[in-house]
Structure 1
């Protein structure tokens, strides 16, 4: 049981910690199963793999859609955390294109999950998709501006340009390695050499 500094109990804190751990286990199990079998994952199998009862799963995620939303939101958050970490990289161009490479892998491999998580009518799903797009756009904007501030990439490049080209590469219908190669070609077209010329 959780305690305050004066050794008195904190009502509910232990239960909240247990619930948070259960959610983490459920998301980890769901992510693994979705990667393996796709979005038609069986909820009972997720509960089994997470080591929790079905009632626990349904309490946190009443439907498959709720679970898929949570799994995809977690993937987007991880991608954005990577971008935030890269803002500390002393090589802004490397940071930008390292993240863009991860973005391409994300789009290429998580598109089916994103579509499954947002399928069905209603503004709620649209708002979710818009929120996820905005968080990735914000991350890309910070990395791009940092690279432009040190004249590492051409100044007329916009985040809309960058993400449109990267998304196109990711959805080109080829494999992920080819999409990453296309990002490498993009870099060669927009990176500025030390003498100020575009490479």
Structure 2
């Protein structure tokens, strides 16, 4: 009897880990599709990218808003976790900051779509925005401080200013195919560099 209980106890956590991994795969696929096609992209495109059936997505996320909110939170966590990894892997703090800002730009594309989806739930959107600032502002501040300490960028740059500036450059990028927000953000990051 104890052997059976022990076996059942070991199997359940493995299943939960598999379920979490499957959900991450779905969220990664949805984020990639949202970045390229917007948050109104067909669910079948997300399912195809994730290698699952449409019903699987609806089982995890019954509505499009549920999926978008989950992607939003997933991207926040991915950005938050990426900052220290990028800083560790170099080659320089400025390069790490630039790579992190690229992840942040992908996130912003989804965030702008989220705002449209959640127009009727202002409180929910404000709560997610506060979560976004709580998780990402310290990461950006650490990257900015490391680049400043290395003498690569101006020491008076505030992380909030940088995030706000990048956000403003990304607004409206989905409405004009001639506007390349990522290129302008790249120019901004290059422009932070101090010349020696």
Q: 2:92 maps to what in 1?
A: 91
Q: 1:61 maps to what in 2?
A: 61
Tell me how far apart the structure 1 counterparts of residues 5 and 194 of structure 2 sit (CA, whole Å). 60
Residues 113-122 or 81-90, more deviating? 113-122
TM-score normalized with structure 2 length: 0.72
Tell me how far apart the structure 2 counterparts of residues 157 and 87 of structure 1 sit (CA, whole Å). 18
Cα distance, 1:189 vs structure 2: 4.0
SS of residue paired to 1:157: coil
Q: Is the 8 A contact 2:39 2:110 kept in 1?
A: no
Q: 2:193 maps to what in 1?
A: 191
Q: 1:180 maps to what in 2?
A: 182
Bigger proportion of residues as helix = 2
User: Which has the greater radius of gyration?
Assistant: 1
**1:118/1:50 Cα in 2 relative to 1: closer, same or farther (>3 Å)?**
farther
Q: Runs of 5+ in structure 2 lacking a partner?
A: none
Q: 2:7 maps to what in 1?
A: 9
Cα distance, 1:178 vs structure 2: 3.5
Q: 1:151 maps to what in 2?
A: 151
How many correspondences in the alignment? 188
**1:52/1:9 Cα in 2 relative to 1: closer, same or farther (>3 Å)?**
farther
Q: Is the 8 A contact 1:72 1:117 kept in 2?
A: no
Alignment deviations for residues 158-193 of structure 1 (CA, whole Å, 9 cap, x no partner): 112212222222226465973333334434543223
Alignment deviations for residues 78-118 of structure 1 (CA, whole Å, 9 cap, x no partner): 233332211112411222223223323442x3244332454
Q: Is the 8 A contact 1:86 1:95 kept in 2?
A: yes
Q: Is the 8 A contact 1:29 1:50 kept in 2?
A: no
